């Protein structure tokens, strides 16, 4: 009998083992990545779009898809400044505070034999959001929109019940301005919930939805504009930011946003063939104090908390110094942005301590509720470490998203009454009305978790909606942010930043806040 | 065997019923209003009210639970109102990816684990045995998500051998398997250690049995004795461990599906729990638990078929 050491496992000798290893190695080097190359563009989406019908749209993910397959009268202009450019519109202008007249470019076609895009399609697409039974999720974006008067095959007038400045910034160039085909939608029963839209008008059309993985688009042969550079565009669903970054470095996606923590490394040692771009975000992060909580009824206590929060330290630790301090809820570049806040970003612990002394408080113990992501927990930990210098002990409660986003909602129990501090981030569209809308008195018990209520603020919010004079509107929104800060209920942190990593052989097109406009992407 | 099978099947049904009912009760008491989470800030109160009514959230909890089981018994898993699609479609679209992932993990763990365990037993008390022991424990100790991340960085980014994301091109088996290799390896690696340790222990036990000694005495080739007779018996406990381990693999699949951006039941459940998408959570959990219980049942039945003593032990 031979010993086990003399007989290799399963009778494989050294020569056979080496041959097998070599064979396996060769197999792994096959050009299996060919599918990802050529004229295919892979763009990362952080979640899946909801569906093809603008009625059910909820945010930018749908815009990412709709921008590729649908058209609008006007679209955001790619670049560093907010503006719009004509798409279907040949001319479009505000003819009175409540009317907008437009003419359309002739010969713009729907795909798959659905004919020309006409003013009837514009009318149908906008008015269906106002139909009660349709339950449009984005109806508020259209504000006081009334109806569209069709004056010709290619012309019409948009009527508003009262002036609405955001129609140019939020409604027409964004989700609510998306044009669907009247005939195709009616044939589908009024809603576009089919697996693939029956017709499209944009540069791409949907080939396949691989749910949870990717949405596959290809060139729309019936597109009336210039032929896009890419034969195929995949919107690749990658939830995790780190996974997206790895996928980019491995060449499996061509364009993705990356986390702020990666910016320094990517700037110092950029992966070969990639470019990093950094854009200021429109979103806003802030610490909110519930003014109706017994601990914060005295405004001096609220002001003490404001002064005890050191924004630069938070930005260094949680945002890796790639974002600037916010002066309010309206980002730079938008109407209503304040160059400076009332309270400097740096903490003033002596002042905070003095305010607590004035309020007769020796040691203040408070709680902050935050989301369970790294940015939020790091922010809270920095606050906890620094606020103790002012005599404030901060406890941190971490929540998963489902639990967190209902903390201040009245219909979900009594937790909204007991909130003390919260760290929140709201996304934003390029109009200040979208920011102030959440802080009016009506929003208490819903999204106004600070329970901030100020009649002047509410009045200004209503008036600014209808104000068409840009300078006056700018002053109104600045005043509103002053009121927020004066209340002691808010400590503004930052707007954040959007770092994008992309292949050098593509020319990406983004909005000023860094979000991709895939329909305008080109080859380098 | 029939009695045993029926007994086990009844127990499996009871486990699924209790687990899902308990889960429903826990889920419904979690803080987080689905209408706020799902519909976002721009939804009007009217839309939210209609959404609550559609989801049956205004009914008492027990009635909701009864309605859920009523629908399940009639073959309807409900509707994902958020995306306006049948839950069954969403779950059945994701299930094959997770099954493939788990099967891939089993293949990795069984193949490598049995080889490592047999090799270890064959070289017992040598340095090779000790190295294999260290490796096995190391595999067990390494969390799946850490393995997944490092496997991704090393094999996909550094070496460029495997893709980092996705499940491959539909209809292309090669592409599917290629995309499956790394995530299933990440999940299966921990089980390589378990299987190797169990196979080694059972094989050492088997090698000391009389029938092995008899086979050797009859002059049968050593390889045949070890790998045909001893190993056949020694892998039985490993089959049972892998059957029960499917639950653990399903848990690991959540991480693997997120890290590798693959569709599947794990990521579907993760997303739907975060979004408080109750119909989808329940449908996906029912299928996941059903899958787990079925696998454990099949492992039990295989064991009972291979070794009749198990029937009596039960």
User: Model confidence at B93, in pLDDT bands (50, 70, 90)?
Assistant: confident
Task: Write the secondary structure of chain B as one string of H (helix), E (strand) and C (coil).
Answer: CHHHHHHHHHHHHHHHHHHHHHHHHHHHHCCCCHHHHHHCCCCCHHHHHHHHHHHCCCCCHHHHHHHHHHHHHCCCCCEECCCCEEHHHHHHHHHHHHHHHHHHHHHHHHHHHHHHHHHHHHCCCCHHHHHHHHHHHHHHHCCHHHHHHHHHHHHHHHCCCCCCCCCCCCCCHHHHHHHHHHHHHHHHHHHHHHHHHHHHHHHHHHHCCHHHHHHHHCCCCHHHHHHHHHHHHHCHHHHHHHHHHHHHHHHHHHHHHHHCCCCCHHHHHHHHHHCCCHHHHHHHHHHHHHHHHHHHHHHHHHHHHHCCHHHHHC
Collect all residues of chain A within an 8 Å Cβ-Cβ radius of residue B93: 211-212
Residue of A34, A63, A246 to mutate, testing the B interface (most B Cβ within 10 Å of its Cβ):
A246
User: Are B40 and A59 inside 8 Å of each other by CB?
Assistant: yes
Candidate from A373-377, B7-11, B47-51 with smallest mean pLDDT: B47-51
User: Are A402 and B30 inside 8 Å of each other by CB?
Assistant: yes
User: Are A447 and B47 inside 8 Å of each other by CB?
Assistant: no
User: Are A5 and B169 inside 8 Å of each other by CB?
Assistant: no
Least Cα separation, residue B306 to chain A (angstroms): 24
CA distance B230 to B236: 11
CA distance A180 to A175: 11
Collect all residues of chain B within an 8 Å Cβ-Cβ radius of residue A17: none
User: Are A252 and B37 inside 8 Å of each other by CB?
Assistant: no
Ranges of CATH 1.10.3720.10 domains, chain B: 87-311
Does residue B182 register a pLDDT over 50? yes
Least Cα separation, residue B45 to chain A (angstroms): 10
B84 closest CB neighbour out of A193, A413, A438: A193
B75 touches chain A (CB under 8 A): no
A403 closest CB neighbour out of B31, B170, B175: B31
Least Cα separation, residue A244 to chain B (angstroms): 9
Q: Give me the pLDDT at residue A7, please.
A: 38
Pairwise pLDDT comparison (A366 vs B249), residue with the higher score: A366
Collect all residues of chain B within an 8 Å Cβ-Cβ radius of residue A407: 31
User: Are A402 and B43 inside 8 Å of each other by CB?
Assistant: no
Q: Give me the pLDDT at residue A327, please.
A: 97
Assigned CATH topology for domain A284-495: Dipeptide-binding Protein; domain 3 (3.10.105)
User: Are A1 and B94 inside 8 Å of each other by CB?
Assistant: no
How confident is the model over B117-128, as a mean pLDDT? 89
B259 touches chain A (CB under 8 A): yes
Q: Give me the pLDDT at residue B312, please.
A: 64
User: Are B32 and A210 inside 8 Å of each other by CB?
Assistant: no
DSSP string, A51-120: -S-GGG--SHHHHHHHHHH-B-SEEEPSSSS--EEESSEEEEEEEETTEEEEEE-TT-B-STT--B--HH
User: Are A409 and B33 inside 8 Å of each other by CB?
Assistant: yes
Collect all residues of chain B within an 8 Å Cβ-Cβ radius of residue A189: none
Q: Give me the pLDDT at residue B179, please.
A: 93
B91 touches chain A (CB under 8 A): no
Give the B window 110-139 contacts with A, CB below 8 Å: 115, 118-119, 122-123, 126
Q: Give me the pLDDT at residue B42, please.
A: 63
Tokens of A49: 């779009």
Q: Give me the pLDDT at residue A136, please.
A: 87
Per-residue pLDDT tens, chain A, 524 aa: give them: 333 333 333 444 444 444 444 444 444 444 334 344 458 999 999 888 878 999 988 788 899 999 999 999 999 999 999 999 999 999 999 999 999 999 999 999 999 999 999 999 999 999 999 998 888 888 888 989 999 999 999 999 999 999 998 999 989 999 999 999 999 999 999 988 777 889 999 999 999 888 888 999 999 999 999 999 999 999 999 988 888 998 998 889 999 999 888 999 999 988 889 999 999 999 999 999 999 999 999 999 999 999 999 999 999 999 999 999 999 999 999 999 999 999 999 999 999 999 999 999 999 999 999 999 889 999 999 999 999 999 999 999 999 887 888 888 887 778 888 999 999 999 898 999 999 999 999 999 888 999 999 999 999 999 998 898 999 999 999 999 999 999 999 999 999 999 999 999 999 999 999 999 999 999 98
Least Cα separation, residue B148 to chain A (angstroms): 11
User: Are A239 and B261 inside 8 Å of each other by CB?
Assistant: yes
Task: Search chain A and give the residue with CA nearest B83.
Answer: A50
Candidate from A89-103, B30-44, B224-238 with smallest mean pLDDT: B30-44
Domain residue ranges in chain A: 6-13+36-257+498-523, 284-495
Least Cα separation, residue B262 to chain A (angstroms): 6
Q: Give me the pLDDT at residue B41, please.
A: 63
Collect all residues of chain B within an 8 Å Cβ-Cβ radius of residue A59: 40
CATH 3.40.640.10, domain B87-311, yes or no = no
CA distance B154 to B146: 12
User: Are A412 and B31 inside 8 Å of each other by CB?
Assistant: yes
Pairwise pLDDT comparison (A128 vs B273), residue with the higher score: A128
B178 closest CB neighbour out of A32, A240, A412: A32
Q: Which residue has the tokens 């942010």?
A: A481
User: Are B222 and A2 inside 8 Å of each other by CB?
Assistant: yes
A212 closest CB neighbour out of B174, B175, B267: B267
B41 closest CB neighbour out of A237, A401, A438: A438
User: Are A212 and B33 inside 8 Å of each other by CB?
Assistant: no
Does residue B31 register a pLDDT over 80? no
Collect all residues of chain B within an 8 Å Cβ-Cβ radius of residue A190: none
CATH 3.90.320.10, domain A6-13+36-257+498-523, yes or no = no
Q: Which residues pair with B159 in a beta bridge?
A: none
Collect all residues of chain A within an 8 Å Cβ-Cβ radius of residue B31: 402-403, 406-407, 412-413, 415
Task: Search chain A and give the residue with CA nearest B156.
Answer: A250
Least Cα separation, residue B312 to chain A (angstroms): 35
User: Are A243 and B260 inside 8 Å of each other by CB?
Assistant: yes
Does residue B152 register a pLDDT over 90? no
Is the ipTM value over 0.85, yes or no? no
Residue of A3, A29, A60, A250 to mutate, testing the B interface (most B Cβ within 10 Å of its Cβ):
A250
User: Model confidence at B170, in pLDDT bands (50, 70, 90)?
Assistant: confident
């Amino acid at each position: 009998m031979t010993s086990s050491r003399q007989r290799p496992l399963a009778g494989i000798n050294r020569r056979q083992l080496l041959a097998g290893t070599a064979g396996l190695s060769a197999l792994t080097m096959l050009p299996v990545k060919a599918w990802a190359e050529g004229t295919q563009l892979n763009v990362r989406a952080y979640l899946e779009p909801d569906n093809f019908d603008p009625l059910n749209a909820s945010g930018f993910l749908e815009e990412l898809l709709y921008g590729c397959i649908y058209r609008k009268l006007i679209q955001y202009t790619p670049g560093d400044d907010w503006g719009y450019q004509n798409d279907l519109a040949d001319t479009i202008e505000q003819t009175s505070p409540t009317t907008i007249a437009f003419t359309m470019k002739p010969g713009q076609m729907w795909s798959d034999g659905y004919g020309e895009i006409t003013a009837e399609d514009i009318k149908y697409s906008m008015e269906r959001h106002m139909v009660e039974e349709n339950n449009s999720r984005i109806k508020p974006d259209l504000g006081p929109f009334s109806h569209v008067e069709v004056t010709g095959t290619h012309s019409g007038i948009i009527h508003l019940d009262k002036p609405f400045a955001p129609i140019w910034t939020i409604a027409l160039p964004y989700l609510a301005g998306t044009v669907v085909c009247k005939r195709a939608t009616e044939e589908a029963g009024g809603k576009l919930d089919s697996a693939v839209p029956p017709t499209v008008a944009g540069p791409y059309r949907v080939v396949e939805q691989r749910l949870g993985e990717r949405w596959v688009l290809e060139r729309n042969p019936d597109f009336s504009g210039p032929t896009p550079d890419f034969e195929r565009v995949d919107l690749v669903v990658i939830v995790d930011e780190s996974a997206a970054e790895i996928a980019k470095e491995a060449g499996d996606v061509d364009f993705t946003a990356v986390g702020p923590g990666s910016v320094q490394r990517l700037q110092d040692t950029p992966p070969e063939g990639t470019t990093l771009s950094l854009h200021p975000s429109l979103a806003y992060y802030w610490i909110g104090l519930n003014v109706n909580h017994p601990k914060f009824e005295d405004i001096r206590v609220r002001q003490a908390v404001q002064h005890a929060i050191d924004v630069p330290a938070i930005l260094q630790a949680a945002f890796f110094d790639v974002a600037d301090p916010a002066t309010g809820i309206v980002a730079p570049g938008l109407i209503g942005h304040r160059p400076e806040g009332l309270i400097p970003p740096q903490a003033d612990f002596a002042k905070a301590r003095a305010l607590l002394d004035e309020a007769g408080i020796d040691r203040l113990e408070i709680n902050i509720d935050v989301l369970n992501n790294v940015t939020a927990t790091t922010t809270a930990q920095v606050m906890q470490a620094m606020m103790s210098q002012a005599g404030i002990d901060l406890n941190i409660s971490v929540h998963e998203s489902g639990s967190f986003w209902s903390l201040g909602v009245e219909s979900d129990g009594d937790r909204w009454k007991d909130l003390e501090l919260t760290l929140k981030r709201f996304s934003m569209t390029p109009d200040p009305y979208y920011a102030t809308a959440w802080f009016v008195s009506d929003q208490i018990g819903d999204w106004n978790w600070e329970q901030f209520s100020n009649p002047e603020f509410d009045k200004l919010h209503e008036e600014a909606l209808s104000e068409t004079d840009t300078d006056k509107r700018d002053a109104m929104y600045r005043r509103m942010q002053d009121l927020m800060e004066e209340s002691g209920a808010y400590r503004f942190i930052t707007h954040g930043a959007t770092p994008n990593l992309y292949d050098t052989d593509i020319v990406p097109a983004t909005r000023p806040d860094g979000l991709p406009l895939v329909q305008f992407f080109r080859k380098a | 065997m029939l009695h045993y099978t029926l007994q086990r099947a009844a127990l499996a049904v009871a486990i699924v019923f209790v687990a899902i009912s308990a889960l429903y009760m826990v889920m419904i008491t979690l803080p987080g209003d689905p209408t706020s989470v799902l519909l976002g800030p721009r939804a009007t109160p009217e839309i939210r009210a209609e959404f609550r009514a559609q989801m049956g959230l205004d009914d008492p909890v027990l009635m909701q639970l009864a309605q859920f089981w009523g629908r399940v018994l009639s073959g309807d898993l409900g509707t994902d109102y958020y995306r306006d699609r049948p839950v069954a479609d969403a779950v059945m679209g994701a299930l094959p990816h997770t099954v493939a992932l788990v099967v891939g993990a089993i293949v990795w763990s069984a193949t490598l684990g049995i080889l490592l365990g047999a090799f270890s037993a064959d070289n017992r008390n040598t340095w090779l045995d000790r190295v294999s022991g260290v490796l096995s424990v190391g595999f067990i100790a390494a969390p799946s998500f850490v393995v997944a991340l490092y496997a991704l960085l090393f094999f996909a980014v550094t070496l460029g051998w495997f893709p980092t994301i996705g499940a491959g091109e539909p209809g292309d088996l090669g592409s599917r398997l290629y995309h499956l290799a790394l995530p299933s390896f990440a999940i299966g690696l921990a089980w390589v250690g378990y299987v190797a340790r169990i196979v080694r222990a059972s094989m050492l036990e088997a090698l000391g049995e009389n029938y092995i000694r008899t086979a050797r005495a009859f002059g049968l080739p050593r390889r045949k004795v070890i790998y045909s007779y001893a190993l056949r018996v020694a892998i039985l406990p490993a089959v049972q461990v892998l059957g029960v381990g499917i639950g653990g693999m399903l848990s690991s699949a959540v991480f693997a599906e997120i890290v590798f951006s693959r569709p599947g039941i794990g990521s579907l459940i993760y997303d739907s729990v975060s979004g408080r998408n109750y119909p989808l959570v329940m449908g996906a959990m029912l299928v996941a638990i059903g899958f787990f219980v079925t696998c454990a049942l099949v492992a039990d039945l295989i064991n009972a078929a291979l070794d009749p003593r198990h029937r009596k032990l039960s």
